[in-house]
A = this chain, B = another copy of it.
């Protein structure tokens, strides 16, 4: 049997559901509006997409998106459903760019639908013959960061843009002295003329390397090398030469083929930043879930990715945040193939108070937990901020309520008072 790709969609339509699902399958494989001579039964048998599953989910009062039509039957009740389609891999080959044209293509523009969203994806392990998956993943990242038995505590350089290389390095100095495990560039800071990548990384790594020489702990710095392909490879080499241990790229800015090239070249973990994902992710009626999205990028080679955070400052629900994070830690291929698990990165409005609910929901300490104000605005200063986060996670893992743990942990006490318990 030829291996197949499976994609799960949420749909909303006034057409009979089976017919609607078959329209999707036809549009994205052998279907033609006018039957042409080459469209034989044999060709359809070998290449037509199949409707594998169809589950009705309920009715909606009004169309979620404009531009849809009603069937000629006069039916005007719009129903929602979950549809699983499959394709033989011979249609697109083992190619992520061509997979995208198959699973997305023109589907969102079909008139029969007033809502259509990709919610999951299952790829055959044959893709691993063409894509490398994560090089470092959870274990490799822990080893480079020297952090075990707890989340990697991280933060982000702020303000997002505008600091000089020297000012960035000064902020890094404060953070490494505070005991942080991980620091990342903001996604807005890459290689602007006021803060060239090369000068910034040299200045930052001087601080990190001196600190490592003194303490034996090398803080991981995710250097935002987002740019053109030749630039990214050269910047990677500069990070490596300066002794850096992580690179970062904005996934939506660079595309999957550039990520594949970066992965093949890189000797460092790749921190996959998802900025821009809101365009695909926020509307429940269109776009793509992060569950589906991150599988493409894990296969292409990222080692970490952002999943937002519990009670974040953005509009994503906690349920969605945790589903994304759990997915990062779940194998996307069955044994004996590698599962391509990666490290979820919690961030956005995070402080000590989110440690316990995050651990409860995730059931794991294999994550990065990044806080900005939660560290820099701690009443006792950044070092107290970092300590408070560690204390909060220790309590969470031990099953001790934060309020109780705070009796013997003054930094946690201050954090809970400052940021809310």
A216 close to chain B: CB less than 8 A: no
Task: Please state if A109 and B315 are interface contacts (CB–CB under 8 Å).
Answer: yes
Q: Is there an interface contact between B193 and A276, defined as CB atoms closer than 8 Å?
A: no
Per-position binary interface string of chain A over residues 326-352, scored 1 when its CB falls under 8 Å from any chain B CB and 0 otherwise: 000000000000000000000001000
> Does B98 lie within 8 Å of A191, measured CB to CB?
yes
Interface string of A90-112 (1 = CB under 8 A from B): 11110111101110111111110
A47 at the interface (CB under 8 A from B): yes
CB atoms of B227 and A98 under 8 A apart: yes
A313–B109 CA distance with the chains assembled, in angstroms: 9
Give the chain B neighbours of A285 by CB distance below 8 A. 283
Q: What's the minimum C-beta distance from A393 to chain B, rounded to whole angstroms?
A: 21
Q: Is A70 an interface residue (CB 8 A)?
A: no
A373–B314 CB distance below 8 A: no
Task: Let me know if A272 is at the binding interface, CB within 8 A.
Answer: no
> How far is A192 from B3 in the complex, measured between Cα atoms in Å?
13
Chain B CB within 10 Å, residue with most, of A93, A191, A285, A376: A93
Set of chain B residues within 8 Å of A283, measured between Cβ atoms? 65, 283, 285-286
| Interface-facing stretch out of A13-21, A75-83, A140-148, A161-169 | A161-169
Query: For residue A275, which residues in chain B have a CB less than 8 angstroms away from its CB?
Result: 101, 104-106
Tell whether A39 is near chain B: CB-to-CB under 8 Å: yes
Compute how far the CA of A190 lies from the CA of B99 in the bound complex, rounded to whole angstroms: 10
Cβ of A324 under 8 Å from chain B: no
Q: Give the number of residues in A that approach B within 8 Å (Cβ atoms).
A: 96
* Residue positions of A touching B, CB distance < 8 A: 28-34, 36-39, 43-44, 46-48, 65-68, 90-93, 95-98, 100-102, 104-111, 158-163, 167, 170-171, 187-188, 190-194, 226-229, 232, 250, 252-258, 260-261, 273, 275-288, 308, 313-317, 349, 372-373, 376-377
Interchain CB contact under 8 A, A373 and B38: no
Among B48, B109, B229, the residue within 8 A (CB) of A316 is B109
Residues in B with CB closer than 8 Å to A273 are 101
Complex CA gap A315/B229 in Å reads 36
Copies of this chain in the oligomer = 2
Residue on B with the closest CB to A34?
B373
Chain B residues within 8 Å of A66, by CB = 284, 315
What is the CB-to-nearest-CB distance from A115 to chain B, in angstroms, rounded to a whole number?
Answer: 9
Least CB distance, A99 to chain B, in whole angstroms: 8
Specify which chain B residues have a CB less than 8 angstroms from the CB of A280 in the assembled complex: 279-280
| 8 nearest A-B pairs in the assembled complex, by CB-CB distance | A255-B255, A67-B315, A108-B278, A34-B373, A47-B162, A97-B253, A109-B278, A109-B314
For A315, give its contact among B30, B110, B158, B372 (CB under 8 Å): B110
Contact A97 B287 (CB under 8 A): no
A90 to B357, CA, bound (A): 40
Contact A90 B193 (CB under 8 A): yes
Minimal beta-carbon separation of A275 from chain B (angstroms): 5
Selected A-B contacts with CB under 8 Å, 13 pairs: A30-B159, A33-B313, A91-B161, A97-B226, A97-B253, A98-B188, A98-B192, A101-B226, A108-B278, A109-B277, A111-B313, A228-B257, A229-B261
